[in-house]
Structure 1
Amino acid sequence: MKPSPSIRPARIVESRTPSLFYRLFPVNRDLAIKSIFGVWGAYFLFVTSRVLYVPQSNPDALFVQRILMTSICITVTWLLYRLLVMVRCKGMGAAIFMLSLPTMVLANYIALVDQIVFNHDAGLFDFSYLLNPVDFAAFDWAYVLDEAFTRYFILVSWGALYLALSHSKNVQRMMVHSRELERVNRSSELRALRYQLNPHFVFNALNSVSSLIIDRQNEQAEKLVDDLADYMRAVLTGGAQDMITVEQEIAQQVRYLEIERMRFPQRLLYFVDVEPAANDWSIPALIIQPLIENAVKFGVSAADQPLNIIISARVEEDRLRISVANDGRVEIPPTQPHDRAAGTGTGLTNIQSRLRALYGQNASLLLANSRDGMAIATIVLPDPSLIFEDL
């Protein structure tokens, strides 16, 4: 049977054998290599520098022997690294144990090898004495004990340094992961809040279209459909921008008000007063739409009198004040501060949530009643540089 062209054979994934380098340093590779070679490299330079002020016989041969001994120390420290890797998931107690008894054994081993290497006067590249039987009776055991303590101190210091840096690296990795999750969650929250459009607006606009068609006002109905389509396109697919300029925001809201004026041609009047300095200020997209929706809903829809809506934007010192005022009064709970606007509706809660997610406590929403009989909602925004950044 001929296989269906839509079904593709599964790709065979070849398992790659980890390289020798990866197997030698499976965890915290860069940290382990840099710390091991850094510690013993510094030790080698310090010991070698003694030739500058302590006369030594056959210094060339001693230099080669120090290279050999440093290589052995690096190998032993790598063994300690592998021991620490083995117990990395078993808690701090297991790590402390590895830095006690096993590290003592390794330090004594280094001290014994050091005695064997440096207890002979040999030529430049003469290592034949290393193949001879070891004469422990000829050892300077006081020197061995002294050297064992020194090497133990170096190994423990390296181990503590490695564990501290490894823990710090893990914490940083977790913080980066946490910040990434926070960024994704905040981005999702902001987009969800942005797309909480009032469905009544869409229903009312469609009802207006239906009424215009019934009244055979096809030209106005066509214009209303075009305006509605342009507005929805700007809201939902306008580059998916989270931040836009005041000028762009005002243009979107004017388009919204023009749609509403098709429903209330005689009763809805609006005015825009934006100073030039505020036009290029970045603000969250659709941040004032709930304020205008409330003005239309509680102003035009709830009364038979004409309604004036005034949209204004001013830059005062280092803050932007963007306000929506309409005829009427707003009820402000006396037990709540004005900048909380608690319990005043989903739209205002939406604004507060977005401001808090973007600016923390640096932005606020204010509700007030003016002396000339207008309800005023004002959003105060700081400089855009104070928006939460993802580190």
Structure 2
Amino acid sequence: MKPASTMRPVRTAEAATTSLFHRLFPVNRDIAIKSIFGVWGAYFVFVTSRFLYVAQGNVDALFVQRILMTSICITSTWLLYRLLIAVRGRGMKSAIFMLTLPTVVLANYIAILDQIVFDHEAVVFDFSYLLKAVDFASFDWAYVLDEAFTRYFIFAGWGALYLALSHSQDAQRMMAHSRQLERVNRESELRALRYQLNPHFVFNALNSVSSLIIDRQNQQAEKMVDDLADYMRAVLTGGAQDMITVEQEIAQQVRYLEIERMRFPERLRYSVDIDQATKDWSIPSLIIQPLIENAIKFGVSGSDQPINITISAQSEGDRMRISVANDGRVIEPTARADDRSTGTGTGLTNVQDRLRTLYGQNASLLLANSKDGMATATIILPDPSQIFQDI
């Protein structure tokens, strides 16, 4: 292994080279390099290939002269690139101006150099004529104007290509950044919605524990505390999983129903009917929690008769229905909105917000009264691949 002292100059040289390279092409580096060398490389290949069908003397010397002119054109295009990035952000008019007057000057300058270089007998690697005084009177100005016209359109064409590619890249970058911000915002919103636990459930559960302790039902109180702790752990800490399977979601809700059944041992009955094909379907965690809360609040709590709650899930092609039904009738949201004692529909709004944030218009929440006297809330979900889509 080489000592560190011998490796430092290498790293310093590499850093200096990289720094110089970045200073030469500070903006849209890949686009600038590829377009400049691509355009003039194609031009060089085209003009050089003319010897295949046009007789030319001293082909080797002409080849070297074309390399010289192509290098000058590449340098001039780099100057135009620097002019374009100098007016970057000042609007399209400034860019168009740079592609007119400065570009015309560059084109004429290149045409004059072209006349000087090719108006001499070609000798390989002999450029001494470049040091002699230029006799403008001997110029073929018609040739110069033709060359200036051709070079101008090459420069202007490159400039338009560069601006178009740069604008496209900037637009794609901004779109990707916007999508990333939107996704982060959606995920943050989802987590905020997900953690909107109903405090009444916690208070009621703790009151039930207190009542069991007072009644010296210590075993039931301990079980309820354990169930409540497991449930809260699943909701608050296990949730780093924002999407879980239907089977996991149902298991969480059964744990919740078991806690509530300790409060209403004689009145709360529940059943689960899950289609085997839906068990591995990914759904938002706790998405049916507010529906079950409503079933208990407006069903069990509001009646002294036994109330049945049914949780079901069925697949329908590329969609799935997951429903929560309870004995009773659906209370109209408008009627409930003004009754602070019975709730304001926050739970249902939470569900709708989460569905809209995740699936756009591809998911829905439906409330209905069934023919067999059940109030039913149904969530219709698309295939999980349509998460974060708005169409």
- When normalised by structure 2's length, the TM-score is 0.91
Per-residue CA deviation, residues 95-146 of structure 1 (Å, 9 max, x unaligned), is 1111111111110110010011111113211111111111111111110010
Shift of 1:294: 0.3
Partner Cα separation in structure 2 for residue 42 and residue 239 of structure 1: 58
**Counterpart residue identity of residue 132, structure 1:** K
Query: What is aligned with 2:372?
Result: 372
Matches within 5 A, 1:3-18: none
Which residue in 2 is equivalent to 1:292?
292
What residue number does 1:170 align with?
170
Counterpart secondary structure, 2:240: coil
Deviation (angstroms), 1:216: 1.4
1:388 to partner: Cα distance: 2.1
In 1, distance between residues paired with 2:233 and 2:274?
24
Q: What letter is aligned with 2:19?
A: S
SS in structure 2 of the partner of residue 88 of structure 1: coil
Structure 1 residue 35 corresponds to structure 2 residue 18: no
Spell out the pairing of 1:37-116 with structure 2 (5 A cutoff): 37-116=37-116
Matches within 5 A, 1:174-323: 174-323=174-323
Distance in 2 between residues matched to 1:316 and 1:369, nearest whole Å: 21
How far does the alpha carbon of each residue in 1:29-86 deviate from its partner, in whole angstroms, 9 at most, with x for none?
1111111001100100111111111110111110110000000000000001111111
Q: Work out the percentage of aligned pairs sharing the same amino acid.
A: 81
Residue 211 (structure 1) shift:
0.9
State the alpha-carbon separation in 2 of the partners of residues 205 and 17 from structure 1. Answer: 69
Shift in Å, 1:331 = 2.5
Aligned pair count reads 369
Amino acid at match of 2:25: F
* 1:311-336, Cα deviation, whole Å (9 max, x unpaired): 1111122211111110100134699x
SS of the aligned residue for 2:302 comes to: coil
Map of 1:8 onto structure 2: none
Deviation, 1:239, is 4.4
User: Equivalents in 2 of 1:356, 1:317: separation in Å?
Assistant: 21
Contact 1:323 1:376 in 2 (8 A): yes
Amino acid aligned to 2:82: R
Superposition deviation, residue 18 in structure 1: 7.4
The 1-side partners of 2:192 and 2:248 are apart by 20
CA distance in 2, matches of 1:243, 1:26: 43
8 Å Cα contact 1:273-1:310 kept in structure 2: yes
Q: Matched residues in 2 for 1:57 and 1:264: separation?
A: 106
1:291 CA drift (Å): 0.5
The separation in 2 between residues aligned to 1:134 and 1:122, in whole angstroms, is 17
- The yes-or-no answer on 1:158 pairing with 2:158 is yes
Contact 1:332-1:367 at 8 Å conserved across structures: no
C-alpha deviation, 1:389, in angstroms:
5.8
TM-superposed CA distance for 1:199, in Å, is 0.5
Structure 1 residues 202-259: Cα deviation after superposition (integer angstroms, max 9, x where no partner)? 0100111111111111111111111001001111111411111100000000000000
Structure 2 Cα separation of the partners of residues 129 and 18 of structure 1: 36
Report the 3-state secondary structure (helix = DSSP H, G, I; strand = E; otherwise coil) of the residue aligned with 2:266.
Answer: coil
**Counterpart residue type for residue 250 of structure 1:** I
> 1-side partners of 2:279 and 2:334: how far apart?
35
SS of 2:304's partner is coil
Partner Cα distance (2:240, 2:80) in 1:
53
Separation in structure 2 between the aligned mates of residue 135 and residue 326 of structure 1, nearest angstrom: 102
Tell me, yes or no, if the aligned pair for 1:329 and 1:369 is still in contact at 8 Å.
yes
Aligned to 1:117: 117
| CA distance in structure 2 between the partners assigned to 1:42 and 1:245 by the alignment | 57
1 CA distance for matches of 2:376 and 2:16?
67
- 2: distance between equivalents of 1:125 and 1:264? 101
Displacement over 4 Å in runs of 4+: 15-18
Of 354-363 and 249-258, deviating more is 354-363
Unaligned runs of 5+ in 1: 1-14, 336-342
The aligned amino acid for 1:164 is: A
Q: Which runs of 5+ in 2 are unaligned?
A: 1-14, 336-342
CA apart distance, 1:17: 11
* Cα distance change, pair 17–195 in 1 and its aligned pair in 2 (3 A): farther
2: CA distance, partners of 1:252 / 1:301: 21
